[in-house]
Amino acid sequence: MIGCTTHELVLTINTSGTNSTSITACDSYLWPVNSQTYTTSGTYTEVIGCTTHELVLTIDTSGTNSTSITACDSYLWPVNSQTYTTSGTYTEVIGCTTHELVLTINTSGTNTATETACDSYLWPVNSQTYTTSGTYTEVIGCTTHELVLTINTSGTNSTSITACDSYLWPVNNQTYTTSGTYTEVIGCTTHELVLTINTSGTNPRRACRCDSYLWPVNNQTYTTSGTYTEVIGCTTHELVLTINTSGTNSTSITACDSYLWPINSQTYTTSGTYTEVIGCTTHELVLTINTSGTNSTSITACDSYLWPINSQTYTTSGTNTEVVGCTTHELVLTINTSGTNSTSNTACDSYLWPVNSQTYTTSGTYTEVIGCTTHELVLTISQWNQLDELTACDTLGR
């Protein structure tokens, strides 16, 4: 008791102790023990009652780690071992780091290309050059690229053509009008056209033949007239053909000394058979050559003369000629005027007419032409008797 006060002590004795905590925090830490906020790492103590609280504090700076990922169909994020199948932005806090995943999910696919190349092929997908046929793959992103490749060996096909005016090349359907060498690449083949362009023309020919004609242009034999054509190269050959039937014309000629045959203008001096072909006619000359001669005749005629050589009648004297065959007939003609000499005679029993030395025994009128004179005898023949004799005597005596 102190003074008037009685002091009473209710005493509780606690055992002293220590409570240590290790903390890692981001940027700052509010220690619940003393409600203090710490922003730096360190060891902090706080005595509460008989307990000494110790804070071993590690302060880390907060940060963010962002990753962009493109994946095919799904993605397993190593940060949290989660698998994602859809595109999106995902976060995961580990320690003081916020991990961010910007995820693009693409659907897987296949892209197949079929290519045919010459000798080699550079695949743009992977910039690889291939020289053999085959199927090649390359995965880019979510796409599996497949190359079905055919490699052909390059070659050249050369064609030489000669055409008229123009030529349509079937290889490229182009029409060319000038000569030259043209090329066209189709596939792995380089087509070469060595082209000669000639100008078209016409070569007309007229022919006249006997029975048939062998045309050298086409070696054809024709037997009828007509117009025929044959195209050789760029030239159209035209044949205007006349076919005549063969025949023979035979002529027999008799000539003197020589003969000029009008058919061939040849002169022949000997007999024989000669031929000459003109057109389709074989002319035959059967020739007789006679030697020329002269036959002279002297004729005396009365009043006129009919010359048997030429059946001409002449009324005047003169020399006349007529060629018959190879003989020149000459007529030396004397024309005398006709006259009549009449005599009357009476004879006994018979009478010898001196004009013609004929003896007549009967009376009558007799004529005898001598030269151009017609002698006429008027004859009386009397029978011989005495009376007649006397009469005759008497007559004679007178």
Amino acid identity, position 322: E
Give the least confident one: 63-72, 156-165, 283-292, 384-393: 384-393
Element at 396 (helix H, strand E): helix 386-397
pLDDT at 199 over 50: yes
pLDDT single digits (tens) 31-78? 999 999 999 999 999 999 999 999 999 999 989 999 999 999 999 999
Which pLDDT score is estimated for 385?
Answer: 60
What pLDDT shows up at residue 86? 95
Two tokens, residue 260: 């000029």
Could you tell me which residue, 388 or 326, shows the higher pLDDT?
A: 326
- Tell me what pLDDT residue 392 has: 46
Predicted local confidence at residue 168, as pLDDT: 97
Q: What is the mean pLDDT of residues 274-288?
A: 93
Query: What does pLDDT average to over the chain?
Result: 91
pLDDT at res. 160: 96
pTM over 0.75: no
How many angstroms separate the CA atoms of 169 and 309, rounded? 91
Beta-strand pair 235-244/201-210: parallel
CA atoms within 13 A of residue 56's CA, in its CB half-sphere: 5
pLDDT value at residue 362: 95
pLDDT at 10: 84
What average pLDDT does the segment 111-127 reach?
95
* Burial class (CB within 10 angstroms; exposed 0-12, middle 13-18, buried 19+) of 197: middle
Output helix, strand, coil percentages for the chain, rounded to the nearest 5: 5, 65, 30
User: In this predicted model, what pLDDT tens digit does every residue of 78-94 receive, in sequence order?
Assistant: 999 999 999 999 999 99
Mean pLDDT of 331-347: 93
% of the chain surpassing 70 pLDDT: 96
Average pLDDT over residues 18-26: 93
User: Residues 261-285: what's their mean pLDDT?
Assistant: 94
Over the stretch 344-378, which tens digit does the pLDDT of each residue have? 999 999 999 999 999 999 999 999 988 888 999 99
